[in-house]
């Protein structure tokens, strides 16, 4: 597979003249460079001659693995700062949601669901960075634990929220007793395991399809082909997802021990996963305020909702440490544990305030 020195000497010693009859034995560098294309062709032919069929097959296998790794295994850094405030649902004659600059603004009506629009944007955002397959010995994904765990945390909240959105018929088709087919399909696609290795199941294809169906629902919504039910008790079930998700992460974090000087392995994955859960809950809580504006206003629950949103977003911003000679990692971990517990408590209070009879 490697040319020997004698091979190169042979190439340089022999060259046919223009009349294809004269051989020369003296190497002229300038002349050889002028005929570089012929020289390169002879080098390539010599290389090919050195390769056996087995070597070619081996090279193709190695190249295929390299292409796959480049295309599917290596992702961008976690998008910890992803914010979807400016994501707007489609607008149409039958849109049930009003978008406001602030609470005192009359706003513009006719929009689709902000939560559905944010869900689609969040999935698309992660797909644009590369979606992680499972953490297995077959893939080098352990090199990017932060991104994988963060994405799986976001996915967990999205999948559970959409399940309630569909199951409780917040979004419905025809009458409020019918499931919206777009949301049924989107929910089904999101509930395919998000950490399956790409060669066996194309997870990204399912996620892209979920984005398409979510947007199709919002399009149908503003065109009057499907419905939206921001009922108090249906929204309460949706808020319960936020409560349960943050409670689960707080519980997992409390069971972990962390070294003060380095954060690796399962502890690091749990840290990044928790940030994904809180980041997505934060963004959906902001969208929840838009979709549920009338109910929150009627129940006078704004103070509770605001505090819950603020604390949840704060938990998402606790930085992920790697190594510290002064033990700061332990402090970061304690900060996230504390923020997780506060977020859960505030979301629980907001849920209670939304349904309590005195509000």
pLDDT given for residue 77 in this prediction: 76
Q: Could you report the per-residue pLDDT of 74-95, keeping only the tens digit for each?
A: 566 788 889 999 999 999 999 9
Clarify whether residues 142 and 271 are in a common domain.
Answer: yes
- Name the domain count of the chain: 2
Clarify whether residues 75 and 28 are in a common domain.
Answer: no
Tell me which range, 228-232, 303-307, 326-330, is most confidently predicted by mean pLDDT.
Answer: 303-307
Clarify whether residues 23 and 140 are in a common domain.
Answer: no
Q: Strand, coil or helix: what is 77? A: coil
Clarify whether residues 119 and 161 are in a common domain.
Answer: yes
pLDDT given for residue 359 in this prediction: 46
Clarify whether residues 131 and 31 are in a common domain.
Answer: no
Q: Could you report the per-residue pLDDT of 121-148, keeping only the tens digit for each?
A: 999 999 888 787 544 445 544 456 788 8
Domain carrying residue 41: 5-51
For residue 56, being part of any structural domain is answered with no
For residue 57, being part of any structural domain is answered with no
Clarify whether residues 41 and 95 are in a common domain.
Answer: no
Please give the distance of CA 147 from its chain centroid, rounded to a whole number. 8
Clarify whether residues 28 and 88 are in a common domain.
Answer: no
Residue 51: pLDDT band (50, 70, 90) is low
For residue 88, being part of any structural domain is answered with yes
Clarify whether residues 157 and 72 are in a common domain.
Answer: yes
What DSSP letter does each residue of 199-254 carry, written as one string? Answer: TT--HHHHHHHHHHHHHHHHHHHHTTSSEE---HHHHHHHHHHHHHHHHHHHHHHH
For residue 296, being part of any structural domain is answered with yes
For residue 58, being part of any structural domain is answered with no
Q: Could you report the per-residue pLDDT of 321-332, keeping only the tens digit for each?
A: 766 555 667 777
For residue 227, being part of any structural domain is answered with yes
Clarify whether residues 288 and 204 are in a common domain.
Answer: yes
Question: Which residue, among 337, 351, 277, 247, has the nearest Cα to 308 in the 3D structure?
Answer: 351
Clarify whether residues 219 and 98 are in a common domain.
Answer: yes
Q: How many residues does the chain have?
A: 359
Residue that the structure tokens 């398409």 belong to = 212
For residue 334, being part of any structural domain is answered with yes
Clarify whether residues 313 and 253 are in a common domain.
Answer: yes
For residue 142, being part of any structural domain is answered with yes
Clarify whether residues 41 and 143 are in a common domain.
Answer: no
Question: Which residue, among 207, 157, 155, 169, has the nearest Cα to 186 in the 3D structure?
Answer: 207
């Amino acid at each position: 597979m490697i040319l020997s020195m004698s091979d190169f000497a042979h190439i340089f010693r022999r060259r046919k003249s223009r009349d294809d009859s004269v051989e020369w034995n003296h190497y002229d560098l300038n002349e050889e460079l002028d005929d570089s294309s012929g020289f390169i062709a002879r080098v390539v032919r010599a290389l090919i001659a050195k390769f056996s069929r087995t070597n070619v097959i081996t090279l193709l296998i190695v190249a295929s693995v390299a292409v796959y790794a480049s295309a599917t295994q290596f992702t961008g850094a976690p998008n910890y700062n992803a914010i979807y405030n400016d994501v707007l649902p489609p607008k149409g004659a039958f849109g049930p949601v009003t978008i406001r600059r602030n609470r005192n603004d009359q706003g513009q009506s006719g929009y689709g669901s902000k939560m559905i629009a944010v869900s689609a944007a969040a999935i698309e955002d992660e797909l644009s960075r590369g979606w992680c397959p499972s953490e297995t010995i077959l893939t080098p994904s352990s090199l990017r634990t932060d991104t994988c765990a963060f994405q799986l945390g976001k996915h967990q909240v999205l999948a559970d929220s959409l399940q309630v959105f569909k199951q409780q018929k917040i979004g419905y088709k025809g009458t409020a007793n019918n499931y919206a087919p777009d949301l049924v399909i989107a929910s089904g696609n999101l509930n395919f395991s998000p950490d399956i290795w790409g060669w066996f199941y194309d997870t990204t294809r399912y996620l892209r399809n979920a984005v398409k169906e979510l947007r199709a629902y919002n399009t149908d919504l503003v065109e009057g082909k499907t419905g939206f039910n921001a009922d108090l008790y249906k929204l309460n079930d949706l808020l319960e997802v936020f409560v349960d998700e943050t409670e689960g992460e707080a519980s997992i974090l409390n069971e972990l021990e962390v070294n003060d000087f380095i954060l690796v392995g399962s502890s690091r994955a749990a840290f990044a996963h928790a940030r994904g859960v809180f980041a997505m809950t934060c963004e959906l809580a902001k969208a929840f305020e838009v979709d549920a504006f009338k109910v929150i206003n009627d129940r006078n629950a704004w103070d509770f909702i605001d505090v819950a949103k603020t604390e949840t977003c704060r938990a998402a911003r606790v930085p992920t440490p790697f190594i510290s000679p002064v033990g700061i990692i332990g402090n970061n971990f304690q900060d996230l544990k504390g923020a997780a517990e506060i977020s859960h408590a505030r979301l629980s209070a907001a849920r209670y305030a939304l349904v309590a009879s005195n509000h």
